[in-house]
Amino acid sequence: MNTLVIVGHPLTGTFTRALADSYADAARDGGADVRVLDLAATPFPHDPETRDELRARDSRDHLPAVIRELIAEVEWADHLVVVYPQWWGTYPAVLKAFIDRVFLSGVSFRYGKGPISERLWAGKTARIVMVMDSPRFWNRLVYRNASETALSRATFGYCGVKTVGITRFTPVRFSTLEKRQGWLRTAAALGRTDAARGRSRTSPALVDA
């Protein structure tokens, strides 16, 4: 299973990246083909220069080369894993910019004549892994799980990508080294689980049946 791990943090060397690496290493050991896309180490124009860059209905030639490369990375993947910190009840601007530049009309979805758009990335799956300081009950009752709902429903779901799991590590601010090491082990376990699920999807016995 081709797995793209997207690190949605504007800085390098973070605990967010450590979680992503733990997941990626375990998934590779489980047989998945894994790439890590660290947005902090991937320069790309966050804002379009023209209205045409908001869509790619007939061609992608008008898009910046780096945007075309990012689109190709996502299209390569069968499974997307987004790892990010929750800031102000949502995700960092760098992750929002990535979504705005890559999840384009004509790439991830297509408008039709009716009210329902065509979901061009149907068949892909996704996992959301987030770190935050808010207690889970506060995130649910006050923030209404805003960031993960936006990703799983308004973004992934709109494009046909099925979210298979959401994991929240909290509170980071008061976490001990022992607690963080446990979270890294949990991230690794998620990687092994997804790799095993990918193997079952591509098993010759299942395909032949």
State how many domains the chain has.
Answer: 1
Tens-digit pLDDT profile for residues 87-142: 999 999 999 999 999 999 999 999 988 888 999 999 999 999 999 999 899 889 99
CATH number of the domain residue 47 falls in: 3.40.50.360
Name 129's Cβ contacts closer than 8 Å, sequence gap at least 6.
Answer: 19, 20, 23, 81, 82, 83, 84, 166, 167, 169, 187, 190
Tens-digit pLDDT profile for residues 41-96: 999 999 999 999 999 988 999 999 999 999 999 999 999 999 999 999 999 999 99
| Nearest alpha carbon to residue 98 among 155, 168, 17 | 155
| Nearest alpha carbon to residue 107 among 126, 84, 129, 124 | 124
Range of the domain at 67: 2-208
